[in-house]
Structure 1
Amino acid sequence: MTRLPILLINLDRAPERLARIKERLDARGLAFERVAGVDARALSRAEIERHVEGIGHWGWMTEGEVACFLSHRKCWRLIVEREMPHAVVLEDDVVPGRFAGEILQRDDWIPAAADLVKLETDLKPVRLSARASGRGETFEVARLHSSHYCAAAYLVTRHTAQRLLKATERFRDAVDEMLFVERSALCRSLRIFQMLPAPFVQEHKHADPVSRFDPSGFIEGRECKDLPRRASHVEALADLAQMRRDLLHKLAELTGRRRTVVVNFQ
């Protein structure tokens, strides 16, 4: 068994967030390496245009979304350059659950087929394989068969990190849209698993009243966006594709191969 390396994304201008997440992870016995996040305030228009290839599903990417995506790419590059078999990528607004420490002290639970393992929850229904691919005393790991937003806590293998770097040299949607939302062709090509209960959740989804967050220090930012106007035939094709996926999910549930659950945080 090997302790999993943890790469934590944190902006240079948010030392208070680093102190808070360090306290949380220290309490769980989790060591981490800080990765300086790409700051949206420092991005030039030329740099944004070099990476963003066009309008995405939710409109043009905000500067914060671009910076967040580039921050995750920094982590993937580190994994590849250092030849890590796998690593956990965290954003600095996560809350670790009570079993997070013991889970990340070992790697024998990682499914051999996994490209990514999602370690957080959006607290909304998702579809999973009926059969678990791995278990521990306090958790199970099952194949994820639906969208599951957010990319604040996940495990990625070196092979997948290398593949993600090549596939996202240019992009048009936020990093979680690319990795964990079904309409993304990249997402559909990945073998993604979900840990449940999830050992991490983001602060703004956590019910703990002592969780305090300052949106100005967010890696991604929370800028408002206007939805793009899309050609009706493009929308129709996208809707048909999703209807087909939903139908296949339902058939898989009826035959006992999949289940719909809300992944709890613990």
Structure 2
Amino acid sequence: MRASLQLPGLMVLLINLDRSTQRRAQMAQRLNNIGLGYQVLSAIDGSAQCEQLQPTVDAGAFRWHTGRGILPGEIGCYHSHLKAWQLLLDSPCQVLLVLEDDMVFKPDFAQALVTSLRGVEYWDILKLAKIRAKQPVRQGFLGDYSLNAYIGAATGFGAYLITRKTAQRLLPQMLPIRAPIDRELERVHRYDIRHFGLEPFPCQPHDEGVSTITGENFSKVTRPPLRQRWTKYVEQTRNLFGRIFYLFRRGRLFASNTNLQLRSPT
């Protein structure tokens, strides 16, 4: 289907493992229904390339942050997102929409996307879906949507926008791997980024309990005993206070009712 949603300057990449043909077909239908043009990015298969990519992982730091070892799929996922950012930088586009292959779009997705792009000056990374989005703090309104920062956990990287300038600044800092990519970028205080969410979120993940990273119902994730996981809770607490102090310093800790001015579409 020919794309009917024209968004100049936007690159859209669908991350999909070559072997995940059913997911690719489902996403093609969903994106065609919206009329959104896109490219398929062949995801890096962490299982097939684990040995090759292992040197890019700081195994000790990852265990400290998460309380467990890294999964091959997490390595592949992390590098797939970095690959997407590099493709943005290799293009003339100014903004990248990254989609993982388990997204389901709500009826207002196109409206939300247009609104997000018109308000691009107000964010660096903008999440359009979430797994967790705890203790939101409204930074203002973009049209009918709330632009939120988060004091608590803000996980899930299935659908987000990132600006060219942000990708260019972050890429050199992203290796070695110290945590899953969504957890790494929760640390807004480390990277000094406006990492916000657009709520109500216009899409959501739906993998029917089967993940190409963690397996069916998280079967690939081994939960170590508490005595081996205490570092995870130390790090979560450290990041919580880091975010609070950072948001306070940046004047983002308290909710705002400001209607943020949107530029007219070009």
**Same-fold call, TM > 0.5?**
yes
**Aligned partners of 2:148, 2:169: CA distance in 1, in Å?**
22
Match for residue 128 of structure 2 among 119, 129, 150: 119
1:165 and 1:129, CA in 2 relative to 1: closer, same or farther beyond 3 A? same
**Aligned partners of 1:166, 1:248: CA distance in 2, in Å?**
22
CA shift at 1:5, angstroms?
2.4
2:260 equivalent in structure 1: none
1:248 and 1:158, CA in 2 relative to 1: closer, same or farther beyond 3 A? closer
- Once the two structures are superposed, residues 183-240 of structure 1 have per-residue CA deviations (whole angstroms, 9 ceiling, x without a partner) of x733xx2111211111111004xxxxxxx5643xx256542134483787x9658636
1:68 equivalent in structure 2: 77
* 3-state SS, counterpart of residue 89 of structure 2: helix
1:191 lines up with 2:194 in the alignment? yes
Q: Which runs of 4+ in 1 moved over 4 A?
A: 105-108, 219-222, 234-238, 243-250
1:247 and 1:185, CA in 2 relative to 1: closer, same or farther beyond 3 A? closer
Tell me the matched-pair count: 240
2:42 equivalent in structure 1: 36
CA shift at 1:49, angstroms?
2.4
Give the RMSD, CA atoms, in angstroms.
3.3
Match for residue 55 of structure 2 among 47, 50, 64: 50
Match for residue 221 of structure 2 among 214, 221, 224: 224
**Aligned partners of 1:109, 1:12: CA distance in 2, in Å?**
34
Structure 2 alignment gaps of length 5 or more: 1-5, 257-266
1:202 equivalent in structure 2: 205
**Aligned partners of 2:103, 2:235: CA distance in 1, in Å?**
36
CA shift at 1:172, angstroms?
1.8
CA shift at 1:16, angstroms?
0.7
* 3-state SS, counterpart of residue 193 of structure 1: strand
- Residue identity in the other structure for 1:15: T
Match for residue 27 of structure 1 among 21, 24, 33: 33
- TM-score, normalised by the number of residues in structure 1: 0.76
The answer on whether the counterparts of 2:133 and 2:155 sit within 8 Å (CA) in structure 1 is no
CA shift at 1:89, angstroms?
0.4
- TM-score, normalised by the number of residues in structure 2: 0.76
Higher relative contact order (CA 8 A, sep 6+): 1
**Aligned partners of 1:237, 1:102: CA distance in 2, in Å?**
37
1:90 and 1:246, CA in 2 relative to 1: closer, same or farther beyond 3 A? same
1:120 and 1:237, CA in 2 relative to 1: closer, same or farther beyond 3 A? closer
- Residue identity in the other structure for 1:70: H
The answer on whether the counterparts of 1:88 and 1:153 sit within 8 Å (CA) in structure 2 is yes
Map 1:153-192 to 2 at 5 A. 153-180=159-186, 185-186=190-191, 189-192=192-195
2:3 equivalent in structure 1: none
1:247 and 1:192, CA in 2 relative to 1: closer, same or farther beyond 3 A? closer
* 3-state SS, counterpart of residue 154 of structure 2: coil
- Residue identity in the other structure for 1:242: L
Structure 1 alignment gaps of length 5 or more: 205-211, 260-266
- Residue identity in the other structure for 1:35: L
The answer on whether the counterparts of 2:100 and 2:158 sit within 8 Å (CA) in structure 1 is yes
2:261 equivalent in structure 1: none
* 3-state SS, counterpart of residue 166 of structure 1: helix
- Once the two structures are superposed, residues 73-105 of structure 1 have per-residue CA deviations (whole angstroms, 9 ceiling, x without a partner) of 110010011132111001000111111123335
